[in-house]
A and B are shown apart, each in its own frame.
Chain A
């Protein structure tokens, strides 16, 4: 038993400027922080989501206003910016949904091995990004 082993580095009180840049984030941790970030984004943009729901559903005239937000812009924002924000919301929703399903699956299955954690995190990340690209291409009129 070696009493004088090398002292392990301790990461207490992470420093935003020195530690965060060098901190190695495993895929599962990346999914986790993006889960939080995407949730916050949807929380912050809740009025926009309800506005879009309102305009899309209330009447034929308001549906026209809904469509116009994506072709002529909304308030002081040009159409491309509206599309970009909605694309961010689409990714947020997909990532949050997939990460949430992963969470529920881990809750009931207890498959908490390192390998499965990494693989399922990769599936969540890739699936959300691929679907976002496909829907984003439609949103920006590429097909």
Chain B
């Protein structure tokens, strides 16, 4: 039987937070880029910002696709962040499970609503 401790430890199953770590950062970068894209379209314009300009930004198909990706990123980002809050303060475990369940429903519902708003434009 070979040693399975130290640097030779066999890592299987759960990814020990690696996936959450990466998702949190990649989704953050996407949302930061999205912020700049929206901001640029608002700043490089003349005249008052009214309904036509604002809705026009999100009417373009590429912008819809990008915004959709951002909604998914936001929901996933919020899920990882909220889980870390519940891991810290959600005690006992039963309460934490309940809070995580409510969080999941809340986020998926909000995500669905946001996509609906985006796609009927």
- Per-residue interface assignment for chain A, residues 10 to 47, with 1 indicating a CB less than 8 Å from any chain B CB and 0 otherwise: 00000000000000000000000000100110110011
Interface size class of B (residues with CB under 8 A): 20 to 34
How many residue pairs link A and B with beta carbons under 8 A? The number is: 54
- Per-residue interface assignment for chain B, residues 41 to 55, with 1 indicating a CB less than 8 Å from any chain A CB and 0 otherwise: 000000000110011
Cβ of B65 < 8 Å from any Cβ of A? no
Interface residue ranges, A against B (CB under 8 Å) = 36, 39-40, 42-43, 46-47, 50, 53-54, 56-58, 60, 63, 97, 100-101, 103-104, 107
Cβ of B120 < 8 Å from any Cβ of A? yes
Cβ of B66 < 8 Å from any Cβ of A? no
Given A43-B107, A46-B78, A63-B51, 11 more A-B residue pairs with CB atoms under 8 Å apart are A36-B81, A39-B78, A43-B78, A46-B106, A46-B110, A47-B113, A50-B117, A56-B51, A63-B50, A104-B28, A104-B29
- Determine the chain A residues whose CB is within 8 A of the CB of B81 once the complex forms: 36, 39, 43
Cβ of B95 < 8 Å from any Cβ of A? no
Cα A47 to Cα B121 with chains together (Å): 19
Cα A32 to Cα B32 with chains together (Å): 19
> Which listed residue (B50, B107, B121) contacts A58, Cβ 8 A?
B121
**Cβ contact within 8 Å between A97 and B35:** yes
**Cβ contact within 8 Å between A43 and B82:** yes
**Cβ contact within 8 Å between B82 and A100:** no
- Per-residue interface assignment for chain B, residues 21 to 46, with 1 indicating a CB less than 8 Å from any chain A CB and 0 otherwise: 00001001100100100000000000
Looking at A46, A47, A56, A101, the one whose CB has the most chain B CB atoms below 10 A away is A46
**Cβ contact within 8 Å between B55 and A57:** yes
**Cβ contact within 8 Å between B28 and A58:** no
Cβ of B85 < 8 Å from any Cβ of A? yes
**Cβ contact within 8 Å between B32 and A100:** yes
Subset of 19 A-B contacts with CB under 8 Å: A39-B82, A42-B78, A43-B81, A43-B106, A50-B110, A50-B117, A54-B117, A57-B54, A57-B55, A57-B58, A57-B117, A58-B117, A63-B50, A63-B51, A97-B32, A97-B35, A101-B32, A104-B29, A107-B25
Write the chain A residue with the least CB distance to B52.
Answer: A60
- Determine the chain B residues whose CB is within 8 A of the CB of A100 once the complex forms: 28, 32
Cα A54 to Cα B121 with chains together (Å): 9
